[in-house]
Amino acid sequence: MHTPHGSAPLTSLANKAKAAMRRLERKVPSTCAVCHQWPSQRICQACAAHFAQPRPRCQRCAINVPAGVDICGACVLNPPAVDHCYAAVDYAYPWADVLHGFKFGSDPGWASSLAQLMYSMPWVEPALDAAHVLLPIPLAPERLRERGYNQAALLAQALSARKTDCGTLLRLHWTPPQSGLNRAQRLRNLQGAFVVNPKHAAQLAGQHVLLVDDVMTTGATLDAAAHTLRAAGVATVSALVLARTGVD
């Protein structure tokens, strides 16, 4: 079939226009990602109010607990390495889909809206105020090159750019996928994964550190990071995550 002269340049221009429109939609979304009402922010106030109600959570692992319970039975028997853990929402509809787009959809523009959602929880502002420094859970260098950004770092910077430090807690190597592993297996998977930058180690002595991550499942990643920080002399290690699964 004969291709009309100039069709290739036109196709290229059309593709560029579509790509530009997608980038614009990420920056200035026209509809809520949940209810699709227009015009709106990425998450409209009505959906945030409906799907992000504060829930009673264990103070040590942030799993859902009955009202009046401070620490779940699992944390009483086996206290985690973090002193306190805070979660904004459950890893369920609609947040599971939103987080998938944030992490794997090449859409770092989600960070601001999701950090605002986290900040709306009554326990987040006091946790941020109490921390001397926010340390996002780092990605392995291979994963960072693949994804192009660290979603935990973007959340931390959106929560408090002044307190966020992305150069102190380092991840030495890539670890196999954690999905499908129990807590003990995940902990073994993460042995030796984290290290404190020797240049910054002295600054951590006696500090209150707030670890920041996007999703918490068993807490093995946070535990491994917390053990590394305690070995460096950190006095208090807390954790703040956007979403908490129901798996423990």
What pLDDT is stored for residue 218 in this prediction? 87
Q: Which are the contacts of 64, defined by CB distance < 8 A and separation ≥ 6? A: 55, 56, 57, 58, 90, 244, 246
User: For residue 108, with 0-12 CB atoms within 10 Å meaning exposed, 13-18 middle and 19 or more buried, which class applies?
Assistant: middle
> Residue 141: its pLDDT value, please?
84
**What digits encode the pLDDT tens for the residues 177-214?**
555 555 555 556 656 689 999 999 999 999 999 999 99
147: three-class secondary structure by DSSP: helix
Which neighbouring-strand residues pair with 246?
none
Contacts of 27 (CB under 8 A, 6+ apart): 109
**pTM for this entry:** 0.82
pLDDT of residue 215: 95
Burial track 193-204 (b if 16+ CB lie within 10 A, e otherwise): bbbbeeebbebb
Reported as a single tens digit per residue, the pLDDT across 45-59 is 999 999 999 999 999
Cβ atoms of 232 and 201 within 8 Å: the answer is yes
Q: What CATH number belongs to 53-244?
A: 3.40.50
In angstroms, the CA 156 to CA 24 distance is 24
Q: Give pLDDT, residue 52.
A: 95
Rounded Cα distance between 240 and 215, Å, is: 9
d(CA 197, CA 82): 20
Which stretches in the chain have pLDDT values below 50? 1-7, 21, 24-25
